[in-house]
Structure 1
Amino acid sequence: MAAATGMIMLAALAILTPSARGLDRADFPPGFLFGVATSAYQIEGAYLEDGKGLSNWDVFTHTQPRRIKDGRNGDIADDHYHRYMEDVEIIHSLGVNSYRFSISWARILPRGQLGGVNSAGIAFYDRLITALLQKGIEPFVTLHHFDMPQELETRYGSWLGAGIREEFGYYADVCFKAFGDRVRFWTTFNEPNMFAKFAYMLGNYPPARCSPPFGTCNSGNSRREPYVAAHNMLLSHAAAVENYKKNYQVKPTDILPL
């Protein structure tokens, strides 16, 4: 029955919208970008290689595996750190011309601004960006896709402490300085509203803070903390945008959305 219903729907779609049967690039305006997207923790692996520090997700998946559906972690993941050239070839073979990926904060600054910049981490993203550009693929870089150095989560409660704003500003500046000559499109935070909800209201993401009736965590305040975290992320975003526009933006078309 399900298969028959599906065939009827496809037939109706073909009749009502014949153009949907065959789209090609000519149907889109010049410069239209087709893309794919990933996040660092989900694909990179190499979680303690080449000077990378522990991230909050490294610690979270190892200490609270029950919160992960199948109990797995990102220690190896897709092994993108070692196989990025193969992955770039796959992206190119799809015919897309843009790729949104995130940078692992702990790979660039293992201990935040109190520690040094990890040159091996910079070198990895240099190689990735170069490989993308050589294939005609526009890099879109996300600075925070839910992960940060574990040391900063311990020190500030992730996004609860006001000091995290300066940390993020320093991190953003390091990335702008290292990659801004080749990266035109930046995103400061991936879904900050969802991060605040799942990390500080429901407790499903690190630092896993919540309170009843929203969830059962060791600590947290589900009615207050999501707003504190969102407040600090918004101010961090604003400071990074101001820095980028003042010191790194080359063209008005370069964008840095939330």
Structure 2
Amino acid sequence: MDNKLIFPEGFWWGSATSGPQSEGSFNKPHESIFDYWYKIEPEAFFDKVGPRITSNFYNSYKEDLAMLKEIGLNSFRTSIQWTRLIKDLETGEPDEDGVRFYNAVIDETISNGIIPVMNLHHFDLPIELYEKYGGWESKHVVKLFVRFAETAFKLFGDRVKYWTTFNEPIVIVEGQYLYEFHYPKVVDGKKAMQVLYNVNLASASVIKRFRELGLQEQGGKIGIILNLTPAYPRSDSDEDIEASRIADAFFNASFLDPAVKGSFPEKLVELLKMDGVLWESTVEEDRVINEGTVDFLGVNYYQPRRVKAKEAGSLDDRGWMPDKYFDNYDMPGKRMNPYRGWEIYPKAMYDIAINIRDNYDNIPWFISENGMGVQGEEKYVNEEGIIEDDYRIEFFKEHLQYLHQGISEGSNCFGYHTWTPIDCWSWTNAYKNRYGFIAVDLKTKNKTIKKSGRWIKEVSENNGFYKLSQDK
């Protein structure tokens, strides 16, 4: 029996990074929220490594994109930094050097035969807009984001045909307003839910502007990148299943439903109303969300969520939190990535594929991130100086096998992007864990292709691979 898995014709084999994690902060007219946080609290970042240099893409994009071509990638997602492109945050007037840089990156990507996918927000709000208006708490910031997006569309829409509004917008809510892992580390459930609404509104408003500018007629498509963490109940008890449904409504459907269906999950709205933390909105804003649905969906998948019914005595003193309706469940025997502290559960790829097929109109979608961060990869260097990251190849194969199963059962998936092409800076983790097909030496900035980079080239050229001898 032939055990080769072939993917649909024209399938995207690519990888994703972001502006703030790869470019370095050279020559930007504004600081992002992360630039500022590092400046005031460098000790919050692993080894005190900040976003100044990152993988130096600003200076080395030509060489970097040539390496992406060398490892066979046919598509590449990065982001346009609001803080780099825009000189005047109120009017949306562009910065001359930002325009030059992004034009050069886009042209170089295309000249290498690689499809550019451009994202507009990757956790990198300009710090001025937080200090002045409260960031995403403000509807005015929503308007300014639309002006930024419009500038980007007008400058680059003739060549960039795939756009996304936000990367992992639920992380803005969780990190900045609930769980204190992104600056400004506010713990305020009411503000968190307003931010959740405002970011959905910002995404839909940008999509509306995209269409008003006629970019669809020019072959352009616009979507959003969501990190989906399927919520699996501890047991099949009614209480555990209900807990998992509520967790799913908060962390997945709160952005997935508005993006694809144009409305929020009824369950979520009902709970927020009951708890007195529902966002403020107008009929007109709701209409924008209703009409501003996506052309396609990007899905970042790393780990599942395991939940159980709320147990007595497990309430905390942080005020209203989504956690009042469930507890996280530490499932015995789960496979772990010990470096990142995340569960490895490839079957969720299949579950996501079928969920999109059955519950979200089988919208066109792609895996926009999937990856394995490992600390201390230098211990896997062979005599030729190549990192032999077989663990990463196996991780990708396992996930791709389940993705292929979903596609073979009719899910409309058109691509697979890993995180990330070149080891990049990862927020407070900095360079603690490495994810790339290509290693970067932080001292010399030299870049070398890992074993996984040679593997993905073969996969891309063959549009498939021989599956593992046994599924895990």
Q: Per the shorter chain, which TM-score range? A: 0.7 to 0.9
Deviations 1:25-81 (A, max 9, x none): xx2222111111001111111x242x5321211111121223323322111111110
TM-superposed CA distance for 1:100, in Å, is 0.3
Amino acid at match of 2:221: I
Alignment partner of 1:109 out of 80, 86, 89 = 86
Asked whether the 8 Å contact 1:201–1:209 carries over to 2, the reply is yes
Q: Give TM-score, length-normalised by structure 1.
A: 0.81
TM-superposed CA distance for 1:115, in Å, is 7.1
Structure 1 moving runs of 4+ over 6 Å: none
Alignment-derived partner of residue 213 in structure 1: none
| Aligned residue runs from structure 1 range 1-258, under 5 A | 19=3, 27-45=6-24, 47-49=25-27, 51-114=28-91, 116-210=93-187, 221=188, 223-251=189-217, 254-258=220-224
Asked whether the 8 Å contact 1:59–1:150 carries over to 2, the reply is yes
Q: After alignment, is 197-206 or 138-147 more displaced?
A: 197-206
Amino acid at match of 2:168: E
Asked whether the 8 Å contact 2:91–2:144 carries over to 1, the reply is no
Q: Secondary structure at the match of 1:182?
A: coil
Aligned length, in residue pairs: 224
Q: Secondary structure at the match of 2:208?
A: helix
Asked whether the 8 Å contact 1:199–1:206 carries over to 2, the reply is yes
Q: Which structure: greater strand fraction? A: 2
CA distance in 2, matches of 1:225, 1:183: 35
Change (3 A) 1:62 1:193: same
CA distance in 1, matches of 2:124, 2:12: 27
CA distance in 1, matches of 2:132, 2:179: 21
CA distance in 2, matches of 1:119, 1:248: 25
TM-superposed CA distance for 1:206, in Å, is 2.3
Asked whether the 8 Å contact 1:54–1:110 carries over to 2, the reply is no
CA distance in 1, matches of 2:110, 2:163: 16
Change (3 A) 1:249 1:104: same
Unmatched 5+ residue regions in structure 2? 225-472
Higher relative contact order (CA 8 A, sep 6+): 2
Q: Once the two structures are aligned, what percentage of the paired residues are identical?
A: 31
Deviations 1:145-189 (A, max 9, x none): 000222112112221112111110100000000100001111100
Deviations 1:213-255 (A, max 9, x none): xxxxxxxx1x212211111111111111011112132448632
Change (3 A) 1:95 1:175: same
Amino acid at match of 1:160: E
